[in-house]
Amino acid sequence: MLFGLDQIILFIANYSYIAIFVLMFLESVILPIPSEVVLPFTGFLIAINKMNPVLGFGDAVVASLLGSLVGYLLGYFLGVDIFLRYSKRIGFGEEEYKKGIVWIKRYGNYFAFITKLLPAVRSIASIICGAFKMDMKKFVAYSSAGILIWSGFLIYLGYYLSSNWESIASIFEKSAVYVAGAFILFFLLYIFRKKLAGIFTRKWKQ
């Protein structure tokens, strides 16, 4: 986690809407900033009349969408080289990359939407979509839908729980690593399934 809970609270308390925008933007690009802390705390501030609900919600959504778009573009223009450079070291190359493109074209809409509803994965999903050439218009549309639901849900929870908003962050923080690991593992296993099957088959015959 790039920022601790106390640092995030202090940053938002001091800089209000600017802080929310910066944190949600950076989180959506790739940095490990927990939106499950930022958004519930925003809801809490709305509950105690320290923040306008429309501006607070709109601020978070716009920042997330812009950050996601930047992440997508980084993946689109840089992700291919990075993927091929490091994946070749473990036996995966251009063929697997092409399979990833096929997978994204087939399931990319669901991928872009669902990953915006998951902790931790949100920060890298945009780069994956860009690296594997998902259609940009569809990416923006489906990511926006996920961002609206995620932001609205967590801000409302923070508003509803008010002074107990930190319990939300605690729950998500414990599950984030497992969710991210499982999702990424599933994605990689799907792309590399034939290569892995071949490796295990050769080892079994030996």
Q: What is the pLDDT of residues 41-100, one digit of tens each?
A: 999 999 999 999 999 999 999 999 999 999 999 888 886 666 666 555 545 556 666 766
Q: What is the pLDDT of residues 129-160, one digit of tens each?
A: 888 888 999 999 999 999 999 999 999 999 99
Say how far apart CA 206 and CA 194 lie, in whole Å. 19
- The reported pTM is 0.77
